[in-house]
Amino acid sequence: MKTYLYTFVLLTFMLMTGNALRAQQKIDLKQAIQMAIDNNPGIKAKQSQIKQARAKNNQVKSSFLPQVGILSKYLYTNNLPNFYPLLGKNLPIMGQGGQTGEYVTLHPMAPYPDLSGDVLTMDLNAVYPIYTGHKRENALKLTEQLQKAYAKNMDDSKALLSYKVKRAYYNYLMINAVIKVYEDVLKQLNDHLAMARAAYKEGLRSEFDVISFESKIEEFKAKIIDMEGKRRVVATALSKLIGLPDGQTAEFTGDINDFFRQENARNLAVNQLYDGNHKLAFLSEMQKVLDYKKAMQKAAKLPVVFAFGNYHIYHGKDFPPFNQTWRNGYAVGFGLKINLFDGNRSQYQMDEINAKQEELEDYKAGLKLKLDIAYQKTQEQINSLLAQKKAHEKHLQVAQKAYEIAKTAYKNGVITNVQLNGAHLQLSKIQVQILKIEKDILTQKAYLKYLAGQIF
């Protein structure tokens, strides 16, 4: 019995461990961005807009085909002859001296009493516009242009989502690097503790040194636990952002120093923001949509030429003396439709389109101004951060040298543990500050990439 229980527990543990390992996956930045795009509801909504424009495009294409329809009526009437009245012809009554001045009305068929009966009619009609003043062609181009505009709008959403992913990703990598710095500090503190204990045994140091180092060790353990908690929070937020299913965890790979070296070598000019910005492109595409709409509006004043065909079937009480049960026939021809006056509605609609185009042009001018300001501001922040990083790197060199001197001085009993800890903590503090500066620079560059329309 104990053997079976042990086997069951072991299998359960292996199964749970296997599931945990399968759920854990390694994701790099490019994969994270792509996953966010694939799973984001906002992006899917923008894709639906493109599908709607594509459906409108197919609707316009259908206007190039003949329109065929059937009109059928079935009715019962109690006054069938009057429903289809006979047309009479007046003929003069002739006498010996010519016309008498009186007339008699003759009908092509003899009159008959009112009868009740049912009637069935069916018409098959086909209409095909031959010429519409290029209204259909411009409508087709409008829907194609609308798809391009919606695609630019979706690309802007993708670029913005990419920026959000990068911002969270760089924060995650920065916390990883800070934890490594703290772990290295902890390792050094343990070495200091070993030195203090050895010196205490030899009577060279007091117990205070040992307790002091033990206190610092616990302090940095607490810092590591705090940073690990922050990393879990950022990882959870990033997992939600990329659409990772509930219950699955991921390890986000990469080194913040490598990312900084790669991105620091790349620079964007302000004209690249104009050329690549998806919002500007969207406004330009919408202006083209309105151009085609204006062309359609002008075509509304032009004549429309169409061809038509009709095939009809009739069943019901016919005129005596035939009383046929079924009749059928066809008709074909051409038609012309001209709108002479619409109360100036078309002109007012044209004025509305022109006003909308002016509005879009004003939006473009305002957006370019915002891009200029954002570019200058971001570049100044990057330059300021680079200057800070350069200064901190100099401080780091000094701090590293001071720490090496402090370690030697402590071993020789020249300085106290407080001074050694001060030199050590100053070194770690500068390292953390440099990591934060690198993260901030990467975030600023990611923002410039978003403005330039870059996704990856």
**365 and 416 housed in the same domain:** yes
First and final C-alpha spacing in the chain: 59
Q: With respect to residue 318, please indicate whether it lies within any of the assigned structural domains.
A: yes
> 317 and 350 in one domain?
no
Overall average pLDDT of the 223-233 stretch? 95
Last residue of a domain, one of 337, 358, 387: 337
pLDDT of 166 above 90: yes
Query: What does the CA dihedral 334, 335, 336, 341 come to, rounded to 10 degrees?
Result: 180
Residue 114 has pLDDT above 70, yes or no: no
Residue 258 inside a domain? The answer is yes
- 210 shares its domain with 284: yes
What digits encode the pLDDT tens for the residues 55-108? 999 999 998 899 999 999 887 766 555 555 555 667 777 777 777 778 776 655
The answer as to whether 18 is a domain residue is no
Residues 396 and 260 in one domain: yes
**Are 91 and 239 part of one and the same domain?**
no
Rounded CA gap, 439 and 233, in Å? 17
What's the whole-number average pLDDT of the chain? 86
Mean pLDDT within 342-364: 91
In a domain, 51, yes or no: yes
Q: Is residue 1 part of a domain?
A: no
Q: State yes or no: pLDDT of 328 exceeds 70.
A: yes
**In a shared domain, residues 119 and 260:** no
Residue 4 maps to a domain: no
Residues 251 and 332 in one domain: no
Question: Is the distance from CB of 167 to CB of 36 less than 8 angstroms?
Answer: no
pLDDT of residue 20: 44
120, 44: one domain: no
Claim: this prediction has a pTM higher than 0.85: no
- In the numeric block, which tokens belong to residue 124? 């098959």
Say if 456 falls within a structural domain.
no
Whether residues 368 and 432 share a domain: the answer is yes
Residue 340's pLDDT is: 84
Domain count, the chain: 2
**For residue 87, what are the contacts with CB-CB under 8 A and spacing of at least 6?**
107, 108
Domain that holds residue 211: 28-62+132-303+345-451
Boundary-marking domain end, from 282, 315, 337: 337
Does 321 lie in the same domain as 283? no
Residues 441 and 369 in one domain: yes
Least confident of 92-101, 210-219, 246-255, 407-416: 92-101
CATH number at residue 399: 1.20.1600.10
**316 in a structural domain:** yes
Domain shared by 216 and 148, yes or no: yes
Torsion of CA 366, 371, 374, 375, to 10 degrees: -150
Lowest mean pLDDT among 200-209, 355-364, 376-385, 423-432: 200-209
Cβ atoms 418, 172 nearer than 8 A: no
